[in-house]
């Protein structure tokens, strides 16, 4: 049976904005050390992140708050996450792609595994033009983006929409996401899952490849 690797975008594919504060500060002309929120890399000092993890706010709420805060630091009234990402990463978006991601999709593709992306906010967060600057996306057979469907993980319909486009049953697919709530939603519809640890990307991708029967 054909199998598929279904990836969230965000921290699964790119180094997170938490990991690239130095690049963001340089791009925006901010002094080193200006940005102190660290999300999963420092939850004890990021109460807003803890609120998101506890489902008191959504992931979109978290990033809109950070977008407004950083915008204010540079005298901008940013109203969309894409405004922040374009300013922080627009110069060289390819530079923040995880090397572990590149290695994993190369291995999967060589083994005949179908590739898909299932994202809650790919174009909302990054801007539609971001895709055009990432040539590896042509390797993906399916991209389902809730920016347009308005059906967000962990709603079971989000996963089913991706499976329908793949024409595969859930048990033939491995789903990778860095948010526990989205993993729980995938588990509920029968997908095999890997909760991606942004602090351990290589180990997370290795786990996904093992589930696909790849070394």
CA angle 47, 51, 57 (to 5 degrees): 135
CB 146 within 8 A of CB 153: yes
Domain 4-15+97-211, CATH: 3.40.50.1000
Q: Which DSSP string corresponds to 35-100? A: ----GGG-GGG-HHHHHHHTTSS-HHHHHHHHHHHHHHHTT----SHHHHHHHHHTT-GGGGB-HH
User: pLDDT per position in the chain (215 positions), as tens?
Assistant: 699 999 999 899 999 999 999 999 999 999 999 999 999 999 999 999 999 999 999 988 999 999 999 999 999 999 998 899 889 986 677 788 999 999 999 999 999 999 999 999 888 777 777 777 788 889 999 999 999 999 999 999 999 999 999 999 999 999 999 999 999 999 999 999 999 999 999 999 999 999 999 97
Confidence at residue 91, expressed as pLDDT on a 0 to 100 scale: 65
Which of 114, 117, 120, 122 lies closest to 155, judged by CA?
Answer: 120
Q: Supply 64's token pair.
A: 């809109």
CB within 8 A of 125, min separation 6: which ones? 10, 63, 81, 82, 85
The number of residues making up the chain comes to: 215
Centroid of chain to Cα 90: 17
Q: Compute the distance between CA of residue 34 and CA of residue 37 in angstroms, rounded to an integer.
A: 9
Query: At CA 163, angle to CA 127 and CA 54, rounded to 5?
Result: 60
pLDDT at 172: 98
Domain boundaries along the sequence of the chain: 4-15+97-211, 21-94
What is the C-alpha separation between 207 and 193, in angstroms, rounded?
9
């Amino acid at each position: 049976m054909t199998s598929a690797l279904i990836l969230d975008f965000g921290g699964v594919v790119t180094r997170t904005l938490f990991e690239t504060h130095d690049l963001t500060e340089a791009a925006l002309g901010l002094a080193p050390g200006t940005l102190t929120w660290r999300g999963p890399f420092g939850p004890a000092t990021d109460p807003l992140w803890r609120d998101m993890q506890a489902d008191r706010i959504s992931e979109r709420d978290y990033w809109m708050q950070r977008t407004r805060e950083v915008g204010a630091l540079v005298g901008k009234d940013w109203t969309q996450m894409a405004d922040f990402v374009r300013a922080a990463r627009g110069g060289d978006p390819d530079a923040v792609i995880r090397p572990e991601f590149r290695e994993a999709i190369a291995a999967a593709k060589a083994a005949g595994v179908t590739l898909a992306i299932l994202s809650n906010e790919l174009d909302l967060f990054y801007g539609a033009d971001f895709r055009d600057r990432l040539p590896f996306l042509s390797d993906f057979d399916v991209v389902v983006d809730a920016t347009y469907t308005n059906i967000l993980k962990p709603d079971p319909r989000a996963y089913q929409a991706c499976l329908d486009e793949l024409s595969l049953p859930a048990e033939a697919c491995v789903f990778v996401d860095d948010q526990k709530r989205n993993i729980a939603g995938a588990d509920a519809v029968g997908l095999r899952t890997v909760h991606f640890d942004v602090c351990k990307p290589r180990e997370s991708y290795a786990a996904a490849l093992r589930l696909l029967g790849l070394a």
